[in-house]
Amino acid sequence: MPAKAIMVQGTGSHVGKSVLAAALCRIFAQDGYRVAPFKAQNMSNNSDVTPEGGEISRAQSEQAKAAGVTSSVLMNPILLKPTTDVGAQVIVLGQSVGTMTAREYQTYKPKLLNVITQSLEKLSRQADILVIEGAGSPAEINLKADDLVNMWVAKQLNAPVLLVGDIDRGGVFAQLVGTMELLDEDERRLVRGFVINKFRGDPTLLTSGLRWLEARYGRPVLGVLPYLHNLDVAEEDSLPSASLKLRSSSHPTNGTVTIAVIRLPRMSNFTDFDALRREPDVHLQFLDAPPSETSLPDAVILPGTKSTIADLSFIRRQQLDRYLQRCREAGREVIGVCGGFQMLGQRLLDPDRIEAARTEAEGLGWLPFETRFHREKTVCHVLGHHVESGLPVSGYEIHMGRLQSPSARRPVVQITQRSQQPTDDHDGMQSEDGGVWGTYLHGLFDEAAFRRWWLNRLRARRHLPPLSVSAVAPPEAAFDQWASVVRSHLNMNAIYEFIKF
C-alpha cells in the first residue's frame, strides 16, 4: 500500500519546519511505523553523504536518523549549494550537474519534476508514512508559478499540510493570516491545521487569538510549541550568522580549553563542531574578525567552505591571516577541514573557474601541497584510523579540489574504506611539529574517543589534567527529548486522523 503523507510548511524561513518534521519522524517511528523524510528541493551548504555516496541536505539526513532509517538521495532529490550571491551548484539525486545562475536554474527546473515524482513514488513503496518538509513560504506570489517544493508537492499526494508560524519573531497571527490569504483556494483546502512555534510564557494569553484564527479559517490550532533554549536538533538548513553565536558554548573558565572557528561567508557544514560544543571543558567561539582581547585560543579551526578562494580572500581582508600567524607562533594548533585544509597549502589552482572567478590564489603556505579543482566531485563515506593516536575515525568527503603534494606526506588519517569499498589510502597532512594539520573528513570530531584524545592534548599544553571520554548523551537522545516535548504540546490524535491511520 502506498505510504500516507503529512507535510510541514511554514510562513517563512527559520520558523521551525525542519525540527517539527524531525519530531514527527521520531514520533511515528516510536509508534511502530516505517517513516521516510522528504524535501523536494533544499538550498543549503550544510550537507551529508548517504551510504551509496550521494550528497543530500544535512536536515534530511538528520530527519532520517530521527526516523531510524538509512539516509537516501530520494529524501532530498534536489540540493542547491550557493557558491555566490547569484549562483549555486545544483545536486540532483546526490550528484552535481553543474553550477547555474538563478535564471539558468529557472529554465532547468521543468526537467526536475519527474525526478521529484519518481523519488516520491520509490520512497512511498519503502515507508508507511512520508514526513514532507516545505521550503521558505508557500505564499511567495512571485515564485508560485514555478513551485516544486511546497504546494505542488502537497497536491501530488493530496497531503494534509500543517502550517507553522514563529511567534518568537513577533506577528505570528499576521504571518498565518497573510499566508492563508495569499494561497489559492485549492491550496488552502490542503491546510488542515496551524502550529505556533517558539512560544515563551503563559499560553493562556494566546487563547483569544487562537479562537479567532480557528473561527476565521475553520481549522484547529494543533499546538503551541515552547521555545527550547537547549534544543540540540538540527534546525533550518541555512542558519544566519547570528545563530552561529548561539551555537557557541559557555564562557571559558580555568578548566576549559578555547577553540575558535573562523566564520567564513560561505562556510559549509558548521555541524562539524557541534560535538565539540557539547563537551563540558570546551569553550567554542566563532570569529569573523580578530578579537580585541590579547589572549589566544588553544586551537583555531578553518572550516569547510563552498568557495575556498573567495573565502581565503575574506580571511586576508579581515587580517585573520595575521591572527592565525600569531596563533601559530604562540604554539596554538591551527586546523583546516576540507576547504579550510586547502587554504593551509601553498597554492590553489582553478583553471576552469569551477569554484571562483579567479584561476589561482596563494595559500597560507603552512603545508607543502597545492590544490587543483576538478569538475568531478569527490563524495564518499570514509572509515579509517587516526595515524598518531591509532584510534578509529569516520566521516565523509565532499569536495571539488584534489591534493597535489610531494610523495613524503605526513597523513592524518589512514583510510581503510571509502563508500563501503575496502581501500588502502590516506587523508590529510600535518606539519613536522604537528601544530598545523588538515583533513578532508567532515565529521571527524564526532568520534568520541578521538575527540577526547585531541582535547586532552590541548589540555596537556595548558598543564590541565586529562579527562576521560565524557558521558555526553548521544545525538539521538535529543530526538527523543524533542519528540516528547512535541507529543505533549501537539494534537497527535488529530494528525493521525488527517493521515487516516
- Residues with a catalytic annotation lie at 338, 442
Collapsed DSSP state (helix, strand, coil) of residue 11: coil
Amino acid at site 194: F
Collapsing DSSP to helix, strand or coil, 329 comes out as: helix
SS (HEC) of 342-405: HHCCCEEECCCCCCCCCCEEECCCCCCCEEEEEEEEEEEEEEEEECCCCCEEEEEEEEEEEEEC
Instruction: Return the C-alpha torsion angle 200, 224, 213, 14, nearest 10.
Output: 80
The span from the CA of 34 to the CA of 161, in Å, is: 20
Alpha helix positions (H), 110-194? 113-126, 151-157, 172-182, 185-188
What is the rounded CA–CA span in Å between residue 375 and residue 401?
9
Indicate the SS3 state at residue 19.
helix
What is the length of the chain? 501
CB atoms within 10 A of CB 113: 13
Question: Residues of 133-161 as b/e, b for ≥16 C-beta within 10 angstroms?
Answer: bbbbbbbeeeebeebbbbbbbbebbebbb
CB 135 within 8 A of CB 42: yes
* Residue 453 to residue 393: CA distance in whole angstroms: 12
DSSP string, 225-278: EEP-TT--S---SS--HHHHHHHS-PPP-TT-EEEEEE--TTEE-GGGGHHHHH
Three-state helix/strand/coil letters over 74-102: HHCCEEEEECCCCEEEEEECCEEEEEEEH
Handedness of CA 70, 76, 77, 81 (dihedral sign): negative
Strand partners, 88: 82, 100
Rounded Cα gap, residues 482 and 228, in angstroms: 9
DSSP annotation of 412: S
Helix axes 475-489, 58-67, angle to 10 degrees: 80
